[in-house]
Structure 1
Amino acid sequence: MIRAAVLSVLIISADAAIAADPAASLRPTSRGGNSAQQPVTLEQSGAIAQPAQSTQQENAKTGGGLFSSLRPFFRTKKVAREGRALKKLREQGAVCGDVAIQGEVVGRVTGKIRGCVIENAVRVRSVSGVGLSQKSVMDCQTASAIKNWLDGSAKPALAKQGGGLQTLRVAAHYACRTRNNQKGAKLSEHGKGRAIDISAFKLRDGTEVSVLKGWNAARFSSAMRRMHKGACGPFGTVLGPNANRFHRDHFHFDTARYRSGSYCK
């Protein structure tokens, strides 16, 4: 009897509490003015606890998600620092997916002669820290070949001369023309964005060495020949003062490929 009385009191108290606070009930309740009753969700009923405000704010800051919260554990300070440096360099104008090649994207370039087309041209202003005397239009394969040549041959060849290499004197880059501007000749690789002509090298102390004068100069002949030879590989065609009368005063480099390999003279 006593137990039954206690149980009755508890039930009456629970019903009174629910009546006082309908939101605490899991049963449908009417919503103002609408005779149709709509179910209350578990979140609305309070059956599922809502995250604290501070936790919500923290999730907003981190972007939420498991991997966002674990990201700091996967990156060292060095990797994060290198990532920021890479982003900065890209913002400064990296092209061809290489931060060492600085310039701007041009897109498709066409000329008056049939075949004078570059599908994805770039205008390059510097490569591996070495400036070009004029912004030069080419494709990314040629830009990458310049980088490989500079890093592997040109910069080392002049490292002990006048403080090192600073600028390449560009005689020609993209131009829709025939080879050596000869009437009836085949289309030049310059017309395809695959070539660059270099006539001189400027050093950091202000000295400028031309191919014409430096090729046989006692001070620079060794470096000139090293740069000429080192270009054979990164480029498909390498022509210099010994090639013919058209190249006495400059190096011609292009990325045309032949079955027999590179042609260097």
Structure 2
Amino acid sequence: MCRWIAYSGTPVLLSRILFEPKHNLIDQSLRSRLGVETTNGDGFGIGWYAQDLPTPGVLRDVGPAWNNQNLQEVAHHVCSGLFFAHIRATTGTAVQQSNCHPFRKGRWLWMHNGSIGEFARLRRDLALAVDPALYSDIEGSTDSELMFFLSLTFGLTDDPPGAVERMAGFIERTGHAYGVRHPLQMTVAVADGERLWAFRYSSEGASRSLYYSTRVGALRSRRPETEYLRDLPDTARLIVSEPLGDFPGAWNEVPESTYGIVQPGGDELRAFRPQP
């Protein structure tokens, strides 16, 4: 499967989040503790929003994240208040740049960990449900990108949670019609430049790991001597496939069948229920 990080808060250098924590994403690409695979070396990607620009920037490559000089260069020179990072372990589709996350459409970013069960059998029926006006924008062959375009078809730009619930319900209905017992496994992050949504769900009720960070101010008051916390903004919020370190109280598991919203005015956790 894959590992990913989503950051929201006061703009910081990407390198602060990607490289400095003890169990950072680069370390996870070699030594994942909670993923299905220990090594995630089938490509990587980052996507970030810059002030006053209409669309997010994206950098993706098929090589492993642990030795990519372009990633090092960009991460040490780009500041952003909302960005994604993803390391890939393929579930069967080709290792190619168009299959690396995050995926972008207009102002929207999308990344995924998980799979559609027996995707090769379901792919045609799922693809035919994509809005014809959107279909030509699909670049790769992954189930993850197809999930993104199904969500766009089902109203992502107007109602992100509802669209993802309809996408999940459609995949499950299609899978069950083919006799697939557990059609969907997903942790998904999606953003529009202002808000960040994260979803944890699986048809079998045993979803891949997902965590959100405790507020930095609360952690700093408990451990003021911790240098890494000292420089992080109080607004920093992280959603991650697995914790970036062993700091007590820093990470909270996202409950099963739940989605969260990180947004101005307050964060929320809500129940996730696939819709027909």
The TM-score range, normalised by the shorter chain, is under 0.3
Task: Normalising by structure 1, report the TM-score.
Answer: 0.24
Higher helix share: 1
Relative contact order higher in (CA < 8 Å, ≥ 6 apart): 2
Task: Normalising by structure 2, report the TM-score.
Answer: 0.24
Q: Which structure has the greater CA radius of gyration?
A: 1
